[in-house]
């Protein structure tokens, strides 16, 4: 099994909270991870099984008597009736920790039930697909990404990658099953993944009446990964109204398939674009939906920049979330066309990030960073993430960092 960076954090957190919820998109490896690290005596129960699900929904008290803690309850969103009984158990056993490990892929249902019943009693942890370091069996060396850490953690023995190899990773994606079973064809996997998501999660969440149109909608969103979100344009492409487009996109966000990155907001003397950018959280899924079938054509195609930007965002997010931390990431764009791909804010310091599909970065690559000096916050070390094979300074307080060094 591929070791996940989150393993020690889950064990540590379980010692502090009576209930732990591991959430994330379908097939991200939640069940496998919890089963791998569970201690002896902790049972695993999946509500994917219809009979077990009905038992949990119809008689939650007897269900917990039948499957007492410590227990893993997988796909917990299918039986929100359990949450009240879990609350009762936790309140009756105030010193017990790690009693319930829950997992689920429909965050809206989970959060709704938790807000109503388990607030203050539960730790919520987010799992994404495999990070680059996890794929390379280097999970224990992952730390939250900041440009200023790059020189400190640079390891001369670290494996470097060509642009073609990075686009191979982008095309394959980050779902664990594709690496546990490397002979699996990505087209077969993603076709099955989407069919399961649409027929189970989306149909249940949205009450879909036109599954083919919803599939077309997902494809249209994938074609826009890394771009500003325009609901009217998106709705027009799929022949739906804007209200439906908003509802459907919100469903993809709740399922952990898509993320919206908000623009940086600050008191600056400029007209700042206030529209978010939309990103798929798995580049393999986005590549499949947009019909790229080789790394070479993707690397040289019209979407290469957007896919590379999406890949970098996902790796940055994983470096935080898989260490149990919350990222603070935004982007900058103003009416004059000045744009910064990402801004990571930590401790009130702004770290600008630019992504370039080049192996020869120069000062021109980061000249737009100056704009942040108009904000009232300190500007720290910035980075140009590219294909140069080592970490080197390219300007005052700006480093060139290889994309595999995140």
Same domain, 121 and 138: no
User: For the chain, how many residues are written?
Assistant: 406
CB 248 within 8 A of CB 206: yes
Q: CA 289 to CA 115: how far, in whole Å?
A: 34
pLDDT greater than 60 at residue 145:
yes
- Integer CA distances (angstroms), 57 to 64, 77, 107, 119, 199, in order: 11, 11, 18, 21, 21
Same domain, 101 and 187: no
Q: Give the residue with greater pLDDT, 106 vs 241.
A: 241
Question: Is 138 found in the same domain as 111?
Answer: no
Query: Residues 137-157: what's their mean pLDDT?
Result: 72
Give the model's pLDDT for residue 204.
79
Position 360 in a domain: yes
Residue 114: per-residue pLDDT = 75
Q: Determine the pLDDT at residue 110.
A: 62
- Angle at which helices 231-238 and 211-222 cross, to 10°: 130
- Residue 1 in any domain: the answer is no
Q: Edge-to-edge, what's the strand order for the sheet holding 227-228?
A: 227-228, 277-280, 258-261
229 in the same domain as 174: yes
157 and 18 in a single domain? The answer is no
The verdict on pTM exceeding 0.85 is: yes
Q: Are the C-beta atoms of 67 and 59 separated by less than 8 Å?
A: no
| 3-class DSSP state of 261 | strand
State yes or no: pLDDT of 157 exceeds 60.
no
Claim to verify: residue 145 and residue 188 sit in the same structural domain: yes
Q: Are residues 319 and 287 in the same domain?
A: yes
Check which CATH number belongs to the domain holding 42 and give it.
Answer: 3.40.50.300
- What average pLDDT does range 83-97 have in this prediction? 94
Q: Final residue of a domain: which of 126, 151, 180?
A: 126
The pLDDT assigned to 151 comes to 64
Residue 384 lies in a domain: yes
Of 105, 126, 147, the residue at which a domain comes to its end is 126
Does residue 277 have a pLDDT over 70? yes
- Residues 278 and 369 grouped into a single domain: yes
Helices 211-222 + 242-254 axis angle, to 10: 80
111/152 same-domain check = no
Is pLDDT of 109 > 80?
no
What dihedral do alpha carbons 66, 67, 69, 70 form, nearest 10°? Answer: 150
pLDDT digits (tens, 9 = 90+) for 61-74: 999 999 999 999 99
Q: Is residue 188 part of a domain?
A: yes
Query: What pLDDT, on the 0 to 100 scale, is given for residue 85?
Result: 95
Among residues 70, 104, 126, the one where a domain terminates is: 126
Kindly state the DSSP code that residue 278 receives in the 8-state scheme: E
Per-chain mean pLDDT for the chain? 91
pLDDT tens digits along 27-47: 999 999 999 999 999 999 999
Asked if residue 143 belongs to a domain, the reply is yes
- 215 & 319 share domain: yes
Residues of the chain by 3-state class (helix, strand, coil), percent to 5: 45, 20, 35
Cα-based distances in Å from 338 to 156, 272, 332, 364, 382? 35, 9, 8, 13, 16
* Parent domain of 13: 7-126
Count the domains in the chain. 2
Structural domain includes residue 321: yes
pLDDT band per the 50, 70, 90 thresholds, residue 113? low
Q: Are residues 166 and 289 in the same domain?
A: yes
In a domain, residue 2? The reply is no
User: Quick one: 195 and 320 in the same domain?
Assistant: yes
Query: Per residue in 162-213, pLDDT tens?
Result: 999 999 999 999 999 999 999 999 999 999 999 999 988 888 778 888 899 9
Q: Does residue 287 fall inside a structural domain?
A: yes
For residue 312, report the phi and psi dihedrals to the nearest 5 degrees.
-60, -45
């Amino acid at each position: 099994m591929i070791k996940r960076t989150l393993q020690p954090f889950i064990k540590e957190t379980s010692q502090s909270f009576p209930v732990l919820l591991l959430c994330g998109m379908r097939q991200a490896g939640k069940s496998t991870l919890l089963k791998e690290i569970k201690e002896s005596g902790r049972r695993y129960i999946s509500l994917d099984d219809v009979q077990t699900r009905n038992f949990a929904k119809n008689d939650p008290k007897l269900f917990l008597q039948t499957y007492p803690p410590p227990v893993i309850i997988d796909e917990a969103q299918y039986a929100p009736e359990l949450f009240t009984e879990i609350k009762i158990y936790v309140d009756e056993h105030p010193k017990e920790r790690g009693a319930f490990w829950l997992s689920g892929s429909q965050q809206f249902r989970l959060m709704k039930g938790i807000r109503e019943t388990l607030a203050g009693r539960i730790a919520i942890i987010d799992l994404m697909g495999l990070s680059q370091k996890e794929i390379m069996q280097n999970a224990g060396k992952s730390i939250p990404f900041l440009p200023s850490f790059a020189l400190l953690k640079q390891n001369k023995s670290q494996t470097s990658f060509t642009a073609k190899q990075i686009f191979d990773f982008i095309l394959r994606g980050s779902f664990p099953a594709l690496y546990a079973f490397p002979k699996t064809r990505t087209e077969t996997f993603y076709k099955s993944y989407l069919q399961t998501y649409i027929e189970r999660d989306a149909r249940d969440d949205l009450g879909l009446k036109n599954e083919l149109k919803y599939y077309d909608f997902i494809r249209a969103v994938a074609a826009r990964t890394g771009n500003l979100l325009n609901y009217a344009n998106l709705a027009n492409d799929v022949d739906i109204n804007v209200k439906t487009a908003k509802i459907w996109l919100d469903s993809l966000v709740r399922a952990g398939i898509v993320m919206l990155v908000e623009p940086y907001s600050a008191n600056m003397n400029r007209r700042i674009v206030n529209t978010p950018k939309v990103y798929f959280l798995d580049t393999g899924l986005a590549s499949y939906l947009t019909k790229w079938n080789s790394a070479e054509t993707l690397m040289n195609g019209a979407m290469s920049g957007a896919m590379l930007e999406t890949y970098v965002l996902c790796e940055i997010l994983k470096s935080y979330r898989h260490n149990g931390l919350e990222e603070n990431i935004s982007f900058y764009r103003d009416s004059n066309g000045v744009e910064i791909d990402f801004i990571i804010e930590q401790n009130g310091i702004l770290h600008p990030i630019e992504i370039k599909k080049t192996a020869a970065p120069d000062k021109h690559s980061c000249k737009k960073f100056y704009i942040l000096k108009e904000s009232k916050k300190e500007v720290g070390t910035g980075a140009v993430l590219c294909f140069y094979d080592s970490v080197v300074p390219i300007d005052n307080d700006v480093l060139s960092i290889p994309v595999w060094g995140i």
